Structure formats: C-alpha cells, structure tokens
Structure 1
Amino acid sequence: MEYSSALSNLQSRQQIDISQTYQSWRHLSEHYRASYAGGMGWKSIGGKDYLYRVTNRTGGGRSLGPRALATEDIYEKFHSGKLKTKARLKDLSASLAILAGGARAGKIARVPRLTANILRKLDEQNVLGRNLIVIGTNAAYAYEAAAGCLLDTGLTATTDCDLMWDARSTLRLAGPEMRNGGLLAVLQSVDKSFQTYNASAFCAVNSSGFMIDLVKATPIPPWKNERSKLSEQDAMTASEIVNLKSMLASPKFVATAIGEDGFPVPMVAPDPRAFAIYKLFLSSQSDRDPTKKDRDRRQAFAVTELIEKRLTHLPFDNKSQLIFPVEMRGLVDELRQPFIDGNGRDDLPDAFKIAP
C-alpha cells in the first residue's frame, strides 16, 4: 500500500510556475536594491553641478563628479535602468498575484499566513538561512514542497514557530530592523502585538497566542562564553537546547513553499534526515510530554517516507550519519525499517499517509 501521493499534474505545474516566477522576482528584486536603492541627482556646489548618488534614507551618499558627458551618461543609464527594472518587477508581481490565485484554488497554499509573513520578513532582512533557520513542525513545509507532496495537515498544524539561531553568525549583512532592534523588532513589524515575558525571553507571543521560540545549540564545552542575543538591543534571549548541534551541523535545506495567501514563502530548514532523526530521538526522551512524543514519532516517519520515496538524492548513508552523536546513529535503522520491509508498510498508522 502506498502512503504518499504526489501532487496532481495541475498542482505540480502550479508549484513549478510559482516557484520559478518567484525566483525571477527575487533575483530582480535583489538587483534593484543593490543597483538602484536610494537615488541619483544633480547637486549645485559653489556654482557647479555635481552628480550625487544617495545611498541611504538619511541622505548619505557620495559625489560621482562634476557635470560632464560621462556623468550625464551615468545619470541617464541609472534612471532608465531603474525605470525598466521597476516595470519588470511590477510585471512579475502581477504574474505572482495570478499564480497565487491558482495556488489557492489548487489547494497547494499551505504555510499559515502569519508564519509565511514572518519568514518573508526575515528573508527581506537577510537573516533567513544566514543567521536563523526554521526547525520544528514548520520545517515540514520545506520538505513537502521539495518532494512535490502534501503532508497530512494533522502533522503540520501548529500554533508556534521554532527558529534556531547559529550563534557563530554575525548580523553584518542583516537589514536595519534586525541590526537595530533584533528579532522582536522584526516580529513586531509583522504583528505589533508580539511581546516577550521576563520568565521566558526566548519566546515572543502575539495577541492570538501564536508563539515564536528562539533557540540555539548548547555550546561545546557547555561553559563556553557565547552570545545569547542576536543584537544588543534585542529583547529576546535564545534558549540553549542540548543535542541541537547535529541540526546546526547538517546541510541547510532550501525550498520555496506556498503560503495560505497563495504567494511563495522562502524556507530554510535543517537537512530532512537531521529533522527525522532528531524527532525520533525526542520521542524517546523520558522527560518529553507524551502527546508531543507521539507527534514527534509520527513526524519522523512521515519525513523519512518523503526521503525514501521522493528525496532519494539524500540517502541515509554512513557519511550523512557522521554529524549525529553516537546515541542517535542507531535510530537510522528504526526509521528506515518500515520502508525497507515491504510488509511493514501496511502496518503504518494512517497519520503517516500523505494527503492527496
């Protein structure tokens, strides 16, 4: 019996189209910010006109020289290029809006709206994948998108989003909101009701009870002095979690999912093999909440099924297991057994099935 169903031909086409259009929009948007952010104009100094490039919102910039054929040519090319790029971005945005409607109608719009908006904002601030990655239940949206499947909604439903911070990274290339106000400031730019509480500064909660948890791997050795905040101004302090090193050390898994609004969502998560093994490990911990343990186990096997059947370029080989502590490596056989043994498949619970 098959427990995974690929997207229909129409759904696959919709997902491919929206992903490709999004990548074109994203690359052009990055080019626009890099090449045309700010402005360019003439500034009169001492009776002479100078071409001036403004590079920030406070008017900072630099002179490109006095008015001459060369600077007039720079001026014309800048403004004509900016207009053309802006027009192209407008066309791509319109295309995305049309494709988003198709994604909603085709029932492939998956990532909850608030989560999607937060991830888009983190990507805009240039910290998604560089400083922060998505772990926990929401990572499953990256895996199903790459596998061309839809996981059972019972496995993906959640009222929180876990973000893992790589404390080795810096905010040098991050956007101004992240550098100046930290993660909480970015969250509040999406939903102003997000707040932290003294007892749990690693967690920000909005007025609807949706939580964002900031975690990081426990340093090695544990007494090593390591930063606990992304920026000095941040109200959020990362919670240290033991055994997260394997998630941090695993290759980053990049995919484009689709939000409930039908628009693309950039996703960066741990390698799905790391996710599956860590989830199965969590399900075996005696101090883990029993309800969470059961869900951890089901998620572990569901993602393993995606790996075994659709993400076959990610084998559970010896090399891939080297990032895990010795106590976790033995879980690989347990994870794979139902998919190696044909008879074992029929014994899998319905929750492991992938929705059509």
Structure 2
Amino acid sequence: MRERPADATRQYIDAVATFEAYEDALAEAAKVRGGMYWHKGPASAPDDAYLVRTSASGSEKSLGRRSPETEAMYASFRQRKEMAVERRDGLKASLLKHKRMNRALRVGRVAPIIVDILNRLAATRLGEHFRVVGTHALYAYESAAGMTFEDDAVATRDIDLLWDVRKRVAFATALSKVDVSMLGVLQKVDPTFRIRDAQKYTAVNKDGFEVDIIRRVQVGDDPHPIRLSDEDDDFWVAQAPRAQELLDSAQFSAVIVATNGAMARMNTLEPMAFVRFKQWMSVLPERDPLKRRRDALQASSVEDVVQEYLPQWSQN
C-alpha cells in the first residue's frame, strides 16, 4: 500500500466536504418536495380559500381555511423551499468543479460504474437496504485512510451487495416507488444489464461487469428462495454463509472517487469484520486456490491499514 500524494489528499478533503454538504442539502430539499397553493372556495363562498399541500407523488392535503396562521405557513414553506433549492443547486455546481479537479489530480481510481450504481441506490432510497461487501469494500477503507492498496488486492470485475432480508417489506415498498424491479434500477445506470441465465443472483452488462446480490442463510421465517420483485426477470438473491455476521457488524461509511472524478458514498462493514471474514474464506478447502490467496492478501492488507491509519476500528 502507498499513501495518497499531498495535493490529491487536500483535494479529496475539500471535495468530501462539498459532497457531504450536498448530501445535507438533498435531505433538506426532500423535506419541502411538492408544493402549496391556495384553493378557491365553493361557488357559495367564492371569497374563501384553503391552503393545500401537494406531495411529490401528486396527493393533496388541506391545511385549513385562509387565516393569519395558514398565511404564515405558506410564506414559511415558500421561503424554505426556495432556500433549499438554491443551496442544493449551488452545491451541485460546486461538485462539478470538484469532479474536474479530482480527475486532474487523479484522486480516484474506482470504476465509474460503481459510483453510478451507488448514487442511483442513494437517490432512490434503496441504498439503505444494501451493504457493499467483498473486494470493493477496500475502496472505502483506503479512501478513509488516505492511502491506496496495491492493484492485486483490489482487482475485480464484480460488486457484491448484501441485502437485508429482514427488511424485505420496507424494501418492496421503496422499490415500488421507483421501479418495477431491481434489475430495472440497474438498467437506469446501464441499459445493457441482464440477469445471467445460469446465475440468477448476478446481473452483467455489455462490458462484463457483474452485480451480485446476496443475503444471509435462511433463518426462521425467512422466505426462500426469494426474488426481489414480482417481475420474472429479476434477481433471485443467493444465500451466503456467515452473511449474518456481516449484517451484525458495525457500519463503515466513506466517500469514494471514480477515475472520472465523480463521487459516491459507500456503506460497507467495519474493517475488522472484513478481515475476519476474509481470513475465514482464505482457508476454505473447497475455494479456488487463487481466490484463497487473494482473500489472505486482502485480510492482511486491511489489518495493516487499520493498525496504521484507522486505529479507532482496531478493537471492533
């Protein structure tokens, strides 16, 4: 592993500060989605008006007859909305500048498709139902530590997303608001994604990049097998040994940067949980020897990073 150059580190710190401010601005703007308007009263009382709140989905709710209180409510909402939109748009413009600087200073090395997928999951509120596990988690650790792993440790052509089957009802509700299937969500990022015929928990695009969705081994009343939507062509989630341990581990979050300068937040598991999992995989006799060696390399590399750069995570 090697430390990030000083100029790239400074740029990363500034870019992350803007990205996190943009996250806050998006959350604030979400609170004032929709609108308010004055609805005229019936023909029998044409001078009456009622304040109506509209949601982003088009539903409406009356907040009461026009009065000093509803007038103040209307004025406050309009002011909050204008300020939230102005702040969001300003920070979005700043992010574009940071994207160019990130690219010029070679701050990032994550494949852009990863950042695009994570940002799509965040925008649709589906991201809270997944954790990135496997090799791509190393990008979160190295970003937080201000260093980079050797290429052999991070080389991969797939991303593993751990889905929490315990929250399947909430996930189905969230998915229904944005798309008909999880595959459809990925196809908004790259329309060439298709479910593999021989491996239904994997979607692959025209470039051979794969997205795998896994879950814990069936426990209690967990449904099995389970498909992420009612669509025939969607993910059938694969059971993964010891995935419950990964779900139970503390969450680790970091902003990662793509080779084109774009940024996204990656939520994964705390690094020592990753180390323990990879150590276990590295000694599985039935596992491919080449993968076992890479598992051992990743485990030792992340453990070294924790000891030297992230000591606050060493006791987990």
TM above 0.5: yes
Alignment of 1:162-173 (within 5 A): 162-172=160-170
Given that 2:183 and 2:234 are in contact with CA atoms closer than 8 Å, whether structure 1 keeps it comes out as yes
Given that 1:6 and 1:150 are in contact with CA atoms closer than 8 Å, whether structure 2 keeps it comes out as yes
**CA–CA separation in structure 2 for the residues paired with 1:187 and 1:260:** 20
Q: What letter corresponds to residue 135 of structure 1 in structure 2?
A: V
**CA–CA separation in structure 1 for the residues paired with 2:87 and 2:81:** 10
Task: Report the identity percentage.
Answer: 29
Report the alpha carbon displacement of residue 240 of structure 1 after superposing the two structures with TM.
0.5
- Per-residue CA deviation, residues 262-297 of structure 1 (Å, 9 max, x unaligned), is 122111111111212222222212221222222222
Report the alpha carbon displacement of residue 120 of structure 1 after superposing the two structures with TM.
0.9
Report the alpha carbon displacement of residue 66 of structure 1 after superposing the two structures with TM.
2.1
**CA–CA separation in structure 2 for the residues paired with 1:164 and 1:132:** 5
261-270 vs 132-141, which deviates more? 261-270
Given that 2:166 and 2:222 are in contact with CA atoms closer than 8 Å, whether structure 1 keeps it comes out as no
**CA–CA separation in structure 1 for the residues paired with 2:247 and 2:289:** 26
**CA–CA separation in structure 2 for the residues paired with 1:301 and 1:268:** 21
The alpha-carbon distance between structure 1 residues 12 and 185, as it changes in their structure 2 partners (threshold 3 A), is same
Which residue does 1:161 correspond to in 2?
159
**CA–CA separation in structure 2 for the residues paired with 1:31 and 1:230:** 30
Which residue does 2:12 correspond to in 1?
15
Look up the SS of the partner of 1:172 in the other structure: helix
Q: What letter corresponds to residue 82 of structure 1 in structure 2?
A: K
Given that 1:133 and 1:268 are in contact with CA atoms closer than 8 Å, whether structure 2 keeps it comes out as yes
**CA–CA separation in structure 1 for the residues paired with 2:295 and 2:9:** 28
Which residue does 1:28 correspond to in 2?
25
What are the ranges of 5 or more consecutive residues in structure 1 without an aligned counterpart?
321-356
Given that 1:218 and 1:242 are in contact with CA atoms closer than 8 Å, whether structure 2 keeps it comes out as yes
**CA–CA separation in structure 2 for the residues paired with 1:45 and 1:206:** 55
Look up the SS of the partner of 1:298 in the other structure: helix
Q: What letter corresponds to residue 207 of structure 2 in structure 1?
A: S
Q: What letter corresponds to residue 23 of structure 1 in structure 2?
A: E
Q: What letter corresponds to residue 160 of structure 2 in structure 1?
A: D
Given that 1:40 and 1:53 are in contact with CA atoms closer than 8 Å, whether structure 2 keeps it comes out as yes
- Per-residue CA deviation, residues 138-194 of structure 1 (Å, 9 max, x unaligned), is 111110011111112332232111101111124537645567524212111211221
Alignment of 1:209-248 (within 5 A): 209-220=208-219, 225-226=222-223, 228-233=226-231, 235-248=234-247
Report the alpha carbon displacement of residue 231 of structure 1 after superposing the two structures with TM.
4.0
Which residue does 2:39 correspond to in 1?
43
Which residue does 1:113 correspond to in 2?
112
Look up the SS of the partner of 1:313 in the other structure: helix
**CA–CA separation in structure 2 for the residues paired with 1:176 and 1:215:** 17
75-84 vs 298-307, which deviates more? 75-84
**CA–CA separation in structure 1 for the residues paired with 2:117 and 2:291:** 24
Q: What letter corresponds to residue 133 of structure 2 in structure 1?
A: I
**CA–CA separation in structure 2 for the residues paired with 1:91 and 1:51:** 30
**CA–CA separation in structure 1 for the residues paired with 2:240 and 2:178:** 24
- Per-residue CA deviation, residues 182-240 of structure 1 (Å, 9 max, x unaligned), is 4212111211221213432211111222111011121347xx54352344448211101
Given that 1:21 and 1:96 are in contact with CA atoms closer than 8 Å, whether structure 2 keeps it comes out as yes
Which residue does 2:260 correspond to in 1?
261
Given that 1:40 and 1:51 are in contact with CA atoms closer than 8 Å, whether structure 2 keeps it comes out as yes
43-52 vs 116-125, which deviates more? 43-52
**CA–CA separation in structure 2 for the residues paired with 1:248 and 1:178:** 25
Which residue does 2:74 correspond to in 1?
75
What are the ranges of 5 or more consecutive residues in structure 2 without an aligned counterpart?
none
**CA–CA separation in structure 1 for the residues paired with 2:122 and 2:218:** 26
- Alignment of 1:285 with 2:284, yes or no, is yes
**CA–CA separation in structure 1 for the residues paired with 2:138 and 2:312:** 17
2:147 to 143, 146, 149: 149
Given that 2:126 and 2:175 are in contact with CA atoms closer than 8 Å, whether structure 1 keeps it comes out as no
Which residue does 1:99 correspond to in 2?
98
**CA–CA separation in structure 2 for the residues paired with 1:131 and 1:176:** 11
- Alignment of 1:132 with 2:130, yes or no, is yes
How many residues are matched?
309
- Per-residue CA deviation, residues 52-86 of structure 1 (Å, 9 max, x unaligned), is 111133x2120112223332222222222212221
Look up the SS of the partner of 2:73 in the other structure: helix
